Structure formats: structure tokens, C-alpha cells
């Protein structure tokens, strides 16, 4: 399972990379749309993670990602106080949109492909 993450926040970048490394999963972090698109084409990931707070175009990028990789699961995350942003990402095609705190808790299961315990 190869993970591509579109994130610029150093804390989340580190969490995602470290979790993927611990689970022995290849992971590439992209911090710009051009690098993200290149990673999607080159790696054909099995999971895409998007930080919706990366920039004001994140929801549009979710839509673009689903055009490039429609069958690949896309998990997005944002603050729990941003329901409109979460809804926009869902409408744009995100398979799941999680609040940051829940994303952090579920991250190992998301990366490993294991259904999380409720």
C-alpha cells in the first residue's frame, strides 16, 4: 500500500510519514499541486491523504485528485470547527473527511488498510 499525502503542516507531515514508516508502507508527501499530481501519476497510490487546510484551493484539489485517481480512496482531514470545508470536500469526492483529532487516532488503521475498531 503506497500512500501519497498532500500536506504542508510539519506536525501532520511528520505523523503521516512516521506512521507509514512504522507500518513499512511507502509514503510520499507532496506540498504543492504539481508535486501531488506527479506523485499520483508516478506512484499510483493505494491511499491519498489531503489536509484541507493546506491552502484555499484544497477542495478543488480533491476534485482534481478524483479525476486523476477515481478509484483510489481519498481521506481528507480538517479542524472540527470547519464543517463547511468538510462538506465541500465530501461533495468534491473525498471518500472520508475526518476531524484532525480522529484522523490522528485512526491514522495507523487508515495506512495499514485495517478497518478501525469503533
Residue 35 DSSP SS3: helix
User: Which residue range forms the structural domain that includes residue 90?
Assistant: 3-112
Q: What is the pLDDT of residue 114?
A: 72
% of the chain at pLDDT higher than 90 = 88
Is the pLDDT at 71 greater than 60? The verdict is yes
Is the pLDDT at 113 greater than 90? The verdict is no
pLDDT band at 118 (very low <50, low <70, confident <90, very high): very low
Q: List, in sequence order, every beta strand (DSSP E) within 1-118.
A: 3-6, 27-30, 47-51, 74-78, 96-99
Total number of domains in the chain: 1
Is the pLDDT at 68 greater than 60? The verdict is yes
In a domain, 55, yes or no: yes
In a domain, 92, yes or no: yes
Q: What is the pLDDT of residue 115?
A: 62
In a domain, 117, yes or no: no
In a domain, 56, yes or no: yes
In a domain, 118, yes or no: no
In a domain, 62, yes or no: yes
Rounded distance, CA 90 to CA 50, Å? 12
Is the pLDDT at 110 greater than 50? The verdict is yes
> pLDDT per residue over 79-99, tens digit each?
998 899 899 999 999 999 999
Rounded distance, CA 87 to CA 85, Å? 5
Q: What is the pLDDT of residue 1?
A: 82
In a domain, 107, yes or no: yes
In a domain, 97, yes or no: yes
CATH number of residue 42's parent domain: 3.40.50.2300
Rounded distance, CA 52 to CA 58, Å? 5
- Positive/negative CA dihedral, 110, 84, 67, 11: negative
Amino acid at each position: 500500500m503506497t500512500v501519497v499525502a498532500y500536506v504542508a503542516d510539519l506536525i501532520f507531515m511528520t505523523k503521516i510519514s512516521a506512521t507509514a514508516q512504522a507500518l513499512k508502507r511507502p509514503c510520499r508527501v507532496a506540498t504543492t499541486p504539481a508535486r501531488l499530481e506527479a506523485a499520483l501519476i508516478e506512484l499510483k497510490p493505494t491511499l491519498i491523504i489531503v489536509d484541507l487546510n493546506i491552502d484555499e484551493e484544497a477542495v478543488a484539489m480533491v476534485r482534481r485528485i478524483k479525476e486523476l485517481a477515481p478509484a483510489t480512496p481519498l481521506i481528507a482531514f480538517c479542524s472540527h470547527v470547519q464543517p463547511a470545508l468538510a462538506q465541500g470536500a465530501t461533495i468534491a469526492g473525498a471518500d472520508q473527511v475526518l476531524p484532525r483529532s480522529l484522523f490522528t487516532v485512526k491514522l495507523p488503521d487508515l495506512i495499514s488498510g485495517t478497518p478501525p475498531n469503533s
